[in-house]
């Protein structure tokens, strides 16, 4: 485990619940958060990854702030570690993310990036709704508090996951960021952005710094919609009646009716629309799932390619704000790909 702050402590907890053996903890802080929560692990502290023999380590987890992800990832790859989990965002620039990909592929290293909602049963069930309700046409996600890089990349990746198509264009406007709680070296403005996908779908993501509420989500299908205000609370599904399913989509006013939808496939009561796990338990579940993904040999669920797509959209959003124009992701200028954004 590299990085023992709030997220690193969650990874430690997830590893222990998974019955992993932790063999090394790396963090320069005098009193790392994870050690304060687990004092019996203090003897495992190391000054660097180089102190650990790579043939005795199955997995390296990098849970530092994003400014260190690239350096630590290439160090781990160079030392011979074969499986790595990196916290999101994968890096502070697109070029750094691509460099991690190229180096890992050259050495046969499996890299997983913890965009946790890719492991979420609830959103897998949402994708299955396409079979009945048609394709997802619009994803709208609204959250106050700013931080498009640190927090908003979760929502960008979620939109990519749900729509499941290549993003082509981005238009965005930034808000004025507040002082970042992680330190003055970070500057992570919020933004309002629109993402257009090659299949005609679009996503609207609003992470403004100047609102203090959690606005929620609306996922629009051809023949209905799913909404929530509290992600770990009730979700509302409204769909056409069976007799109306084949009516033209242009028939304005065709009614939608609420029907039960449980985000959890394991709910005993079909009318129970609360999550099986919520809040902190969901975050721990994502961390454990990322470890499982890294330790497996199946096609990655949350691999480096998906993380690069999210970073390309983020870089395009920042460029769009500067130019006041829509940015084509495929032709984004090299300076935007190389730019290091001070995401925490």
Task: Give the per-residue pLDDT at 241.
Answer: 82
The domain boundary, picked from 226, 242, 275, lies at 275
> Do the domain assignments include residue 301?
no
- Pair (166, 228) in one structural domain: yes
Task: Give the per-residue pLDDT at 270.
Answer: 47
Angstrom distance (rounded) from CA 57 to CA 71: 19
The domain boundary, picked from 61, 85, 117, lies at 117
Task: Give the per-residue pLDDT at 242.
Answer: 80
Cβ 84 vs Cβ 109: under 8 Å: yes
The domain boundary, picked from 117, 141, 156, lies at 117
* Residue 239, beta-bridge partner list: 224, 257
The CATH number that applies at residue 20 is 3.40.50.720
- Pair (186, 173) in one structural domain: yes
- Pair (143, 262) in one structural domain: yes
Looking at the whole model, is its pTM more than 0.85? yes
* Mean pLDDT, residues 125-137 taken together: 92
Phi/psi region, residue 155 (left: phi>0; alpha: psi -120 to 50; beta: rest), is alpha
> Do the domain assignments include residue 43?
yes
- Pair (37, 24) in one structural domain: yes
* Mean pLDDT, residues 153-166 taken together: 97
- Pair (150, 228) in one structural domain: yes
- Pair (218, 92) in one structural domain: no
Task: Give the per-residue pLDDT at 187.
Answer: 86
* Mean pLDDT, residues 293-320 taken together: 97
Task: Give the per-residue pLDDT at 273.
Answer: 47
- Pair (181, 62) in one structural domain: no
Choice among 99-108, 198-207, 226-235 with the minimum mean pLDDT = 226-235
The CATH number that applies at residue 188 is 3.30.360.10
Write the DSSP symbol of residue 129: T
* Mean pLDDT, residues 76-87 taken together: 97
Task: Give the per-residue pLDDT at 227.
Answer: 94
Mean pLDDT of the chain: 91
């Amino acid at each position: 485990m590299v990085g023992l702050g709030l997220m690193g402590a969650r990874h430690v907890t997830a590893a222990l619940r998974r019955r992993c053996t932790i063999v090394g903890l790396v963090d320069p802080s005098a009193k790392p958060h994870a050690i304060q929560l687990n004092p019996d692990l203090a003897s495992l502290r190391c000054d660097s990854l180089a102190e650990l023999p790579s043939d005795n380590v199955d997995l390296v987890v990098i849970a530092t702030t994003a400014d260190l992800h690239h350096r630590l990832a290439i160090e781990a790859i160079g030392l011979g570690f074969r499986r790595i989990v990196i916290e999101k965002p994968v890096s502070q620039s697109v070029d750094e993310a691509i460099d991690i990909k190229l180096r890992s592929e050259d050495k046969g290293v499996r890299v997983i990036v913890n965009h946790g909602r890719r492991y979420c049963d609830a959103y897998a069930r949402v994708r299955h709704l396409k079979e009945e309700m048609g394709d997802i046409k619009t994803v709208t996600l609204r959250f106050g508090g700013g931080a498009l890089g640190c927090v908003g990349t979760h929502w960008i990746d979620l939109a990519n996951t749900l729509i499941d198509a290549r993003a082509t264009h981005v238009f965005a406007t930034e808000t004025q960021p507040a002082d970042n709680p992680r330190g003055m070296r970070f500057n992570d403005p919020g933004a309002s952005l629109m993402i257009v996908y090659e299949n005609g779908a679009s996503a609207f993501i609003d992470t403004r710094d100047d609102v203090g509420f959690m606005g929620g989500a609306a996922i629009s299908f051809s023949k209905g919609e799913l909404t929530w205000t509290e992600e770990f609370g009730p979700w509302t599904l409204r769909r056409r009646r069976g007799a109306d399913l084949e009516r033209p989509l242009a028939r304005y006013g065709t009614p939608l009716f609420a029907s039960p939808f449980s985000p959890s496939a394991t709910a005993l009561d079909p009318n129970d629309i609360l999550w099986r796990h919520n809040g902190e338990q969901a975050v721990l579940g994502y961390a454990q799932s990322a470890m499982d993904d890294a330790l497996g040999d199946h096609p990655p669920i949350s691999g480096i390619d998906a993380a690069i797509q999210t970073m390309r959209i983020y870089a395009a959003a920042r460029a769009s704000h500067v130019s006041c124009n829509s940015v084509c992701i495929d032709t984004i200028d090299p300076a935007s790909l190389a730019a290091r954004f001070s995401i925490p």
